[in-house]
Amino acid sequence: MLGIYLNDHLAGAVGGGELARRLAGAEREWAGGEVLQRLASEVAEDRAALLDMMTALDVPVRHYKTWAAWAVEKVSRLKLNGRLVVRSPLSRVVELEAMRLGVEGKSAGWRTLRVRAETDSRLDSTRLDELIGRARRQIDQLERLRVRAAAEAFGGEVEPVEIVHGTEGDQNP
């Protein structure tokens, strides 16, 4: 069951990584563009960390799941957003929401592995604590960006984008 669980999380990491990379590229000029660039890099690092843990646990990668996640992310780009040629502010809101949901799932996966690390020496509990802390920071940053994007798209108070480079327990600024 652990192999299925981790491969499902890997599939999510592949889809989330594609979304993060695309969103960062599309929103480069937006106020939150710098934060999105850093988040895209971190999402790729987190995927690599998951692969390392799967290797340590002797869990083989089920490539059909990662390919399916990659394809689903590509198809999701076809959603109707009220514009045909240019990027819609609605796309930014929906994609930030999807990223946040993905990071929430990633955080749950790290917490699950952290519980297992108590009895499985193949897992590094300190590294998992760092990944959990980073996921919390990512969730907070994505929520601030989402609120800003929603205010810009639908009206409301636009807060300045705060760039957070790390918190306690997060060794990767």
Q: What is the pLDDT of residues 9-51, one digit of tens each?
A: 998 998 889 899 989 999 999 999 999 999 999 999 999 999 9
Q: What pTM, to 2 d.p., does this model score?
A: 0.81
Question: Cβ distance 132 to 107 under 8 Å?
Answer: yes
In angstroms, the CA 78 to CA 47 distance is 25
In angstroms, the CA 105 to CA 28 distance is 25
Residue 6 has pLDDT above 80, yes or no: yes
Residue 128 has pLDDT above 80, yes or no: yes
CA 36 to chain centre: 10
Whose tokens are 């600024």? That residue is: 173
